[in-house]
Chain A
């Protein structure tokens, strides 16, 4: 295998001090709207950035548009909870259903790097079983590909982020390129409680370099990972893929909100994207369009791109767009200890257990959950306390006890359901684009998993010596909404992320996931995209002359 640097030199292109490579940005390629680029990518997050880097390396003329800014971590990010509000997607959205899912800070990012700028940094793989839950358990869906077809891409991305952790015994057992980080009081209690209750827990897997990686420094254990890592220790595409993409001639066009994909009614092919930049409506021509705007914005954009050929929305002839959107049930249980835990020190992602990941035939529910450390900062912790009904003096008293609490979070595999979906509302945003309406209701299996996960977390915390536990019910990690499937009646794209309806339209973000397992999704989103990129490059779909060979053979 080629060294990471030979495949992706991002970490070596950053300056050797915190901050960004300003000269590289200033000198970046600038395509003109009239140029027909090989590919225009909508969204520069987990999926979009990976695609951009892969295609730029293969010599494609590639430009990625992002609605948000091109972050300069030194200038734009702070080591403060309330001061990080601008990292989130806070454009208007409407939520409904029996179990409406709050969005904003809790769910999606904007700007170059996408949601990974403020994600926690857990990067587990999916298990082999995730790819055929329908055949095995009669729930969820079967993917049009199996784990084995992603494995090599998982390994590649784990090297590029890079991921630190102990040898991983679950799913397809594997090791990580970086050794595990030391743990804080929170992780220590998880490990102790797990041991006491006969549950296996391991340190990792986190996309935080342990030791210097290229010019990226070691983590300083400051605990503000969810506010954007100013240190450059935590992986996000802004530091892991964008530098290499720019170095290979890609353009990143920030502050560019794409409002519609244009389709030529005669050929049925996409011709480019309409976008708004600095108040002006513009159109970028492209031979291939790839959408990677996150599970809410991707379906919204497709639906808003209705045209004569696709009156019900782009790629929506079979009423699949926006459906089967999933969140993970993410209850968090905290325990009170007489010792001082000070859980805000060190990165929130430290230790996890996948002991409950797979279907347990002795249980009434299918599929499972994972458990991980989470370490809410004061404002988020106040939400936990307020959720117990405390206010006034009692709230202040609980809060004064903050140093004594440890907190775990579970990720429950909620099942994909057709009515959990994004539609367009009559409300408009400032670009006059209809706002996304996200409807969500849980099924019985979902609720049972939440209960079971809470029970397991309580057991661990009591096992570690907790005097009292409290739980808050939450949700995390949206995926699905434009899923991949074997055919167009059951999904929007094929295994290579190519849309069934429009031959030169791709979707390369979390929207394409048919199921979610109980793993955090970013690594899988990147791996699925890296695979799609490889197939695209091998197929030569959009490009006359290649200057570089693809990193992996198409048959990987």
Chain B
């Protein structure tokens, strides 16, 4: 399968020829079933309404910088989770359970876009979408909610879907399932025969500034 499109400046092409799926014959059968299913036809949407689908697609494309095909079908993967109520169970006292929170925050996203540009979020230009999201991320409160909780809901589901996909693993050099094969070569710069070395090891995403940053879980 072709690689996901990613600009070299954004870390594309660091593991030339690396193919996580290429190892699938070495995975146990149950794991094969679960992981390879992600490469098949995406499930039809069952949870999102048409309007929610449009907003969610645009949101995920932004959050994960997916601008062209092939894409990881994040919207279908999140839709399936929500349809099956496959959530973490917990919710903040001041937020709804995840499925309801998704519906209402996507509606708010469209409402915000309409207030600013008189069009729903999906109809905004890429730059307008980026600006709007940048504002939400920076805000303390957003439309009556704690902005960080909305942001974490969105990014949590987006990242879980995207980084469960073998094509995303190719991009980051991660070989995926490791049973029953296991690993034989542990240690710094040690690789298994099927692993590929980073072609640009000096591409530190935050170059030339020794720094320390702190974030908060969720």
- Contact among B65, B168, B198 with A403 in the assembled complex (CB-CB below 8 Å): B198
Task: Produce 1/0 per residue, B1-24, CB < 8 A to A.
Answer: 000001101111010000000000
Q: Does A103 contact B (CB under 8 A)?
A: yes
Known contacts A400-B14, A468-B210, A378 near B174 by CB under 8 Å = yes
| B215 interface neighbour in A183, A188, A381, A388, Cβ under 8 Å | A388
With beta carbons under 8 angstroms apart, the residue of A79, A81, A96 that contacts B93 is: A96
Q: Is the CB of A340 within 8 A of B183?
A: no
Interface size on A, residues (CB 8 A): 87
Distance (Å) between the CB of B210 and the closest chain A CB? 6
In the assembled complex, B180 has its CB within 8 A of some CB on chain A = yes
Contact B89 A403 (CB under 8 A): no
Contacts of A102 in B (CB 8 A): 88, 90, 217-218
Does A311 count as interface, using CB distance less than 8 angstroms?
A: no
**A400 adjacent to B10 (CB under 8 Å):** yes
Contact, CB under 8 Å: A184 / B187:
yes
A268 within 8 A of B: no
When the two chains form their complex, are residues B201 and A82 in contact, meaning their CB atoms are under 8 A apart? no
**A residues less than 8 Å from B215 (CB atoms):** 384, 386-389, 470-473
When chains A and B are docked, how far (Å) is the Cα of A435 from the Cα of B110? 32
Contact call B65/A396, Cβ cutoff below 8 A = yes
Contact between B209 and A339, CB atoms less than 8 A apart: no
Residues in A whose Cβ lies below 8 Å from that of B169: 378
The verdict on A222 contacting B182 (CB below 8 Å), with A399-B163, A399-B172 known, is yes
Task: Say yes or no: is B176 at the interface (Cβ < 8 Å to chain A).
Answer: yes
> Which of B31, B156, B188 is packed against the most chain A CB atoms within 10 Å?
B188
Partner of B204, one of A103, A221, A401, A473: A401
B47 located at the interface, meaning its Cβ lies under 8 Å from any Cβ of chain A in the complex: no
| B214 CB within 8 Å of chain A | yes
Kindly state the separation between the CA atoms of A344 and B205 in the bound complex, as whole angstroms: 20
In contact, A224 and B178 (Cβ under 8 angstroms): yes
**Does A306 make an interface contact (CB < 8 A)?**
no
Q: Mark B163-198, 1 if CB is under 8 A from A, else 0.
A: 110001101111011111111111111110001011
Inside 8 A of A106's CB, which chain B residues have their CB? 88, 217
Q: Are A189 and B137 in contact (CB under 8 A)?
A: no
Does A6 touch B at the CB level, under 8 Å? no
Q: Which residues of B contact A444 (CB under 8 A)?
A: none
CA distance A395 to B168 in the complex (A): 12
Q: Which of A189, A231, A340, A467 is the one whose CB lies under 8 Å from B198?
A: A340
Closest chain A residue, CB of each to CB of B214: A471
* Neighbour of A396 across the interface among B11, B31, B211, CB < 8 A: B11
Within the complex, the shortest CB–CB distance from B145 to chain A, in Å, comes to 14
Q: Is the CB of A78 within 8 A of B87?
A: no
- Which parts of B1-56 form the interface with A (CB within 8 Å)? 6-7, 9-12, 14, 27-28, 30-31, 34-35
A93 CB–B CB distance under 8 Å: yes
A14 to B25, CA, bound (A): 27
Whether B189 contacts A79 by the Cβ 8 Å rule is no
B139 contacts the other chain (Cβ, under 8 Å)? no
Q: Is A477 an interface residue (CB 8 A)?
A: no
- Whether A90 and B87, one on each chain, are in contact in the complex, defined by CB atoms closer than 8 angstroms, is yes
What are the residues of chain A within 8 A of B86 when measuring CB–CB?
Answer: 85, 90
The answer to whether A494 has its CB under 8 Å from any CB of chain B is no
Cβ contacts under 8 Å, A90 to chain B: 86-89
Cβ of B216 and Cβ of A472 under 8 Å apart?
yes
A80 with B214, Cβ < 8 A, contacts A378-B163, A394-B205 known: no
CB <8 Å contact, A221 and B182: yes
Bound complex: CA A94 to CA B86 (Å): 16
Judge whether B97 is part of the interface by a CB distance below 8 angstroms.
Answer: yes
Q: How far is the CB of A68 from chain B (nearest CB, A)?
A: 13
Query: Is the contact region of chain B dominated by helix, strand, or loop, or is it mixed?
Result: loop
**A443 interfacial by beta-carbon distance below 8 Å:** no
Residues of B within 8 A of A82 (CB): 160-161, 164
Interface centre among A224, A399, A437, by most chain B C-beta atoms within 10 angstroms, is A399
The yes or no answer to B105 lying at the interface (CB within 8 A) is: no
Interface positions, chain A 338-363, Cβ under 8 Å from B, are: 338-342, 344-346
Chain A 470-486 near chain B by CB (<8 Å), digits 1 or 0: 11111100000000000
Chain A residues with CB under 8 Å of B93's CB are 94-96, 100, 437
Residues from chain B with a CB closer than 8 A to the CB of A77 are 30
B30 touches A221 (CB 8 A): no
- Out of A83, A103, A458, name the residue touching B89 (CB < 8 Å): A103
Partner of B171, one of A89, A400, A470: A400
Interface of A is mostly: mixed
B213 touches A388 (CB 8 A): yes
Q: Is the C-beta of A382 less than 8 angstroms from some C-beta in chain B?
A: yes
A399-B171 in contact (CB<8A):
yes
Q: Is A198 an interface residue (CB 8 A)?
A: no
Residue from B28, B90, B186, B191 having most chain A Cβ neighbours under 10 A: B90
Question: Among residues 408 to 464 in chain A, which have CB atoms less than 8 Å away from a CB atom of chain B?
Answer: 437, 454, 458
> Distance (Å) between the CB of B204 and the closest chain A CB?
6
For residue B91, CB closer than 8 A to chain A, the reply is yes
Q: Which residues of A contact B168 (CB under 8 A)?
A: 378, 399
Query: Chain A, 199-235, contact with B by CB distance < 8 Å: what is the 0/1 string?
Result: 0000000000000000000001111100000110000
- With A382-B159, A468-B209, A471-B215 in contact, is A396–B91 under 8 Å at CB? no
Residues of A within 8 Å of B172, CB to CB, are 378, 399-403
CB neighbours of A185 from chain B (8 A): 186-190
Q: Are A184 and B186 in contact (CB under 8 A)?
A: yes
If A401-B11, A403-B173, A467-B210 touch, whether A78 touches B34 (CB-CB below 8 Å) is yes
Question: Nearest chain-A residue to B208 (Cβ)?
Answer: A467
Residues on the B chain within 8 Å of A391, using CB: 62-64, 133, 137, 155
- B64, B97, B191: the one contacting A392 at CB < 8 Å is B64
Q: How far is the CB of B14 from chain A (nearest CB, A)?
A: 5
Nearest-neighbor residue (CB-CB) of A384 within chain B: B215
Cβ–Cβ contact A397 & B186, under 8 A: no
**Is A75 close to B, CB under 8 A?**
yes
Q: How far is the CB of A310 from chain B (nearest CB, A)?
A: 27
CB of B75 to closest CB in A, whole Å: 16
A529 to B177 CA separation, bound complex (whole angstroms): 36
Q: With an 8 A cutoff between CB atoms, is B203 at the interface?
A: yes
Decide if A393 is an interface residue (CB 8 Å cutoff). Answer: yes
Given the complex of chains A and B, what is the CA–CA distance between A401 and B129 in angstroms?
27
Q: Provided the pairs A92-B89, A400-B171, A402-B174 are in contact, do residues A338 and B31 lie with their beta carbons within 8 angstroms?
A: no
Given A340-B197, A388-B213, residue A396 in contact with residue B10 (CB < 8 A): yes
Top 4 closest pairs, chain A to chain B, by CB = A400-B11, A104-B88, A220-B182, A387-B215
Chain A interface (Cβ < 8 Å from any Cβ of B):
18, 74-83, 85, 88-96, 100, 102-106, 182-185, 188-189, 220-224, 230-231, 336-342, 344-346, 377-379, 381-384, 386-389, 391-404, 437, 454, 458, 467-475
Q: List 5 A-B contacts (CB under 8 A).
A: A337-B188, A378-B163, A399-B168, A468-B204, A471-B212
Q: With A94-B93, A340-B189, A342-B191 given, can you name 9 additional A-B contacts, CB distance below 8 Å?
A: A94-B90, A96-B94, A102-B90, A224-B179, A231-B180, A402-B173, A467-B204, A471-B213, A472-B216
